[in-house]
Amino acid sequence: MLQKQKLFIIKIGGNVVDNEVALHAFLKIFSAISDACILIHGGGKIATSIGNKLNIESKYIDGRRITDDDTIDLVTMVYGGLVNKKIVTVLQALNCNAIGLTGADANVIPAVKRPVKTIDYGWVGDITADHINTDKLGLFLANGLVPVFAPLTHDGQGHVLNTNADTIASSLAVALSAIYDVRLIYCFERKGVLENVDDDASVIRLINNEKYAQLKTENKLFAGILPKLDNAFAAIAAGVNEVLIGDANDLVRNTTGDTIGTLITK
């Protein structure tokens, strides 16, 4: 069997996107990766700040934004326009042939509006990896393009949907694992998963299923990291080769064999 080509799917969070200096530093590092890459970004704080000026109130339930009519227009502008096109334009200046996308563009990520149970989240999209159109993504990657995703999808009925960037990253990773050797990288405000939350030098370099069970039994992990690790192991179980959690500044090392963050494998 032919060896699959390496693909890095990299998600950057608010700590990188919301800070222009950090973002430019990150994009410089990102643009130097020679393997195939996909970038997924957020932009929540910028949306909140512009929303405040437009008198669009940011409403959250359990940490999730409620996306009413005004809010979907706001995030379509900010994520799909301001943040996405700025990133693409800076990457182009760094000789990285970026193409900005939402899930609606080329119908790459069709989604379903989240059904209302106890909470009406509004124009929020749920996606599954098996609906992702890997043919068009594969076409872009094969032609040297670097897809840059805003966290937006669509419902196939004419509506943009606000969609969690972590979920877009893991769904893309699962879907593209059929054709690529995928490493999914979550850039994070720490060096990796820490054994001691106060000590950046205590990064746990490798976590497999067995180690994860052991860490949970020993109660060694700080609470906030558990959902991230559960998501990572779900992606691994669904076919992703490796997930890495690490600092955006360590991206160069973390796209090599000699990683410096926390590498998660079977």
Task: Please give the residue ranges that form the binding site for a copy of itself (CB under 8 A).
Answer: 50, 53-55, 73, 76-82, 84-86, 88-90, 92-93, 97-102, 104-107, 136, 139, 143, 145, 152, 154, 156-160
Closest CB 149 distance from a copy of itself, rounded Å:
12
Question: What string of H, E and C letters represents the secondary structure of the chain?
Answer: CCCCEEEEEEEECHHHHCCHHHHHHHHHHHHCCCCEEEEEECCHHHHHHHHHHCCCCCCEECCEECECHHHHHHHHHHHHHHHHHHHHHHHHHCCCCEEEECCCHHHCCECEECCCCCCCCECEEECCHHHCCHHHHHHHHHCCCEEEECCEEECCCCCEEECCHHHHHHHHHHHHCCCEEEEEEEEECCCCCECCCCCHHHECCEECHHHHHHHHHCCCCCCCHHHHHHHHHHHHHCCCCEEEEEEHHHHHHHCCCCCCCEEECC
Q: In this complex, which beta carbon is closest to a copy of itself, that of residue 134 or of residue 259?
A: 134
Q: How far is the CB of 95 from a copy of itself (least distance, A)?
A: 9
Of the two residues 107 and 265, which places its CB atom closer to a copy of itself in the complex?
A: 107
Task: Report the residue number, 98 or 260, with the smaller CB distance to a copy of itself.
Answer: 98
Structure tokens at 45: 């704080």
The nearer residue to a copy of itself, 41 or 154, going by C-beta atoms, is 154
- Residue number with CB closer to a copy of itself (159 or 253): 159
* Minimum gap (Å) between residue 108 Cβ and a copy of itself: 9
Least distance in angstroms from the C-beta of 116 to a copy of itself: 21
- The nearest distance, CB 88 to a copy of itself, in angstroms, is 5
Decide whether 89 or 202 has the Cβ nearer to a copy of itself: 89
Q: Residue 56: which residues within 8 A CB-CB, separation 6 or more?
A: 70, 71, 74
In the bound state with a copy of itself, the residue whose beta carbon lies nearer, of 54 and 213, is 54
For residue 18, the minimal CB distance to a copy of itself (Å) is 15
Dmax of the chain from CA atoms? 57
Dihedral class, residue 83 (left if φ above 0, else alpha if ψ from -120 to 50, else beta) = alpha
CB of 63 to a copy of itself, least distance (A): 24
Q: Which residue lies nearer to a copy of itself by CB, 147 or 192?
A: 147
Cβ at position 92, least distance to a copy of itself in Å? 5
- Do 123 and 99 touch, CB atoms closer than 8 A? no
